[in-house]
């Protein structure tokens, strides 16, 4: 009975450690991916999104 309890404690600790590492890695990936997107992808398309009011849109030039 003692061996089963000891095994359970070790397994619970091991899975807790693995879960903590996985959560930290997932948090890092999400945070790093967002930073990369902000610096490179969003910056590349910013001129398309921040067009001036006088610039023509997809439907053609604006009237007055």
Q: What is the pLDDT of residues 6-52, one digit of tens each?
A: 999 999 999 999 999 999 999 988 888 777 777 777 777 766 666 65
Count of C-beta atoms within a 10 Å radius of residue 64: 2
pLDDT of residue 61: 54
39 DSSP assignment? I
Structural domain total, the chain: 1
Q: Is 4 inside any structural domain?
A: no
In a domain, 58, yes or no: no
In a domain, 30, yes or no: yes
Query: What are the structure tokens assigned to 58, written together?
Result: 């997809």
- Beta-carbon contacts of residue 54 (< 8 Å; ≥ 6 apart): 62
């Amino acid at each position: 009975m003692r061996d089963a309890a000891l095994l359970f404690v070790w397994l619970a600790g091991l899975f807790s450690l693995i879960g903590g590492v996985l959560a930290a890695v997932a948090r890092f990936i999400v945070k790093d991916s967002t930073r990369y997107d902000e610096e490179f992808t969003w910056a590349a398309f910013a001129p398309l999104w921040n067009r001036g009011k006088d610039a023509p849109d997809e439907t053609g030039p604006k009237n007055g």
